[in-house]
Structure 1
Amino acid sequence: MTDTGNDKINVLGKQTNWEDLYFYQKADIVYQMSFAFCNRFIHPYKDRTRDQIIQAARSCKQNIVEGLADGVTSSEMQMKLLNVARASLKELREDFEDYLKSRHLQYYIAGEERYNVMLDYCRHHNRLPDYEPFFDKWNDEQMCNYGLTLCHMIDKMMMSFMKRLEQEFITEGGIKERMHKARTGYRQQQDTRLKELETRLPELESELFKANAEMMKWKSSYEDLRQRALKSYYKQQEEISRLKALIEEMKKK
């Protein structure tokens, strides 16, 4: 039977474990850092920036989770939500930059030792416990610069990830295409199997006819042999009876 490859088609998309992705791990760090930053440096009632920073950081992290979860059934929704996460990240970067500008604090510049130290640390550390001890030690300038650096890294990683998703969509299609392909493949398998059975049916019928003819032949031979055996048996019985009678007659003489 022709193999259509239907058994290799997965209708549902791959479930990605977001906790294993570096950009999610860094997004979680940024959210926790943003929360600590606001608690330390932004007044809880007098500055609306506090809520905006926390919500933007949370939106980035949560939309990554929701987007990757929705990716099982919808590539389109996955891409949209991941882009929403990037938009929230952009908003958060703007808030950090505005904070530095409005308070006349410094950006860390490429080539500076503190910039190189920060960049190296952010590149090689992706877990929250690596950053939490500094949340109470860094000043606001340091937290903003580390937050900005992490935001840039997350955005770059997410763009690479989305490019990969784009390529997968081009080569594999979305769920509707996979469902259609799976259903079409299944029907092709059934049609191929049906044609094979229809082709073999005359051959099977011919074999059955021959088998029945052979059976009737053997049945006829068996009946003939049976009748001959019975005839021989009765003849022998008659001969035995005749001999017994003859023996009895001779004894009397």
Structure 2
Amino acid sequence: MKPEPEKLIPKHGGYERTKTWQLADLIYDITVRFCDKYVDRRSRTHDQMVQAARSGCQNLQEGSVDSAVSKKIELKLTGIAKGSLEELRRDFKKHLQHRELPEWPPNHPALTRFKAVRCASLEQFRAWVAEEARLAGQERKNTDGKNTDGHGQARTATNEASSGVRAGPCSSVPARVPSPEVCAANGALSLLNLCIHLIGRQMEAQADAFEKEGGFTERLYRVRSARRTAP
């Protein structure tokens, strides 16, 4: 069977089906909602975070479309997208740091549950945050129950000592439970870590293809040469 001749304009686009664009699009939706809720809309940080999220998504899209005529431009725009999302990741980290809120380690129980959900939409992300808030409320209720006696009175070192029971080191201090703001920020960071990692691998594949196949000029030369030598 005769091989199909190389086309001057190769297959391109299809960014909606790529995991990197899907993640970047979700991150953009999450960032807009997060900033509107937890960041002053008049602040520079609000605009900076939203624009960084939009840039990540938009440049992946444009790079996919422009790959038709320039693999070099595709690689450049993909790199810009990665840089924008790295900037956004830094802003989320600073948000937690400035408010003295915890940044969770990768093995945090809530993050483990988050990764198992595999959120693909803003609605699923919000449902996860709501579920974590419910679990946190239950944990707070259970902790409060342990810190009260059978009559609903708060346990203290005095009344526990009088009853012959030694007070624990934190018996009257409820455990710190995550707020929706903490859940949303850490969930966004988890998605950003994954997306940035995948974009890095995508750039490696693009660079490899560019080295092997060349750009538009090289492809034009091959197509014209093949046409001249065709019977």
1 or 2, which has the higher helix percentage?
Answer: 1
Counterpart position of 1:232: none
Q: C-alpha distance in 2, partners of 1:105/1:169? A: 44
- Residue 59 of structure 1 corresponds to 55
- Summarize the Cα distance change of 1:59–1:105 in structure 2 as closer, same or farther, 3 Å threshold: same
Percent identity between matched residues is: 27
Q: Secondary structure of 1:131's match?
A: helix
What's the offset of the Cα at 1:104? 0.6
The gaps in structure 2 that reach 5 residues or longer are 134-178
| Secondary structure of 2:81's aligned partner | helix
Q: Counterpart of 1:23 in 2: which secondary structure? A: helix
The answer to whether the Cα contact below 8 Å between 1:33 and 1:135 also exists between their aligned partners in 2 is: no
Q: Which amino acid is 2:190 matched to?
A: T
8 A contact 1:26–1:127 mirrored in 2: no
User: SS where residue 92 of structure 1 aligns?
Assistant: helix
- 2: CA distance, partners of 1:157 / 1:148: 14
Is the 2:27–2:188 contact (alpha carbons within 8 Å) kept by the matching residues of 1? yes
Question: Displaced runs of 4+ in structure 1, greater than 3 A?
Answer: 132-138
Instruction: Give distance in 2, aligned partners of 1:144 and 1:159.
Output: 22
1:102-117 correspondence runs (5 A): 102-117=98-113
Change in 2 beyond 3 A, CA 1:143/1:162? same
Please give the secondary structure, in 2, of the residue aligned with 1:162.
Answer: helix
Q: Does residue 1:126 correspond to 2:120, yes or no?
A: yes
Match of 2:20 among 20, 23, 28: 23
TM-score between the two structures when normalised by the length of structure 1: 0.67
Q: What is the match of residue 8 of structure 1?
A: 5
Rg larger in structure: 1
Note if 1:149 corresponds to 2:190. Answer: yes
SS at match of 2:105: coil
Once the 2 structures are TM-superposed, how far is the Cα of residue 171 of structure 1 from its aligned partner? 2.2
Q: Which residue of 65, 72, 75 corresponds with 2:68? A: 72
Corresponding letter in the other structure for 1:31:
Y
1:181 aligns with 2:222: yes
How far, CA to CA, are the matches of 1:99 and 1:75 in structure 2? 36
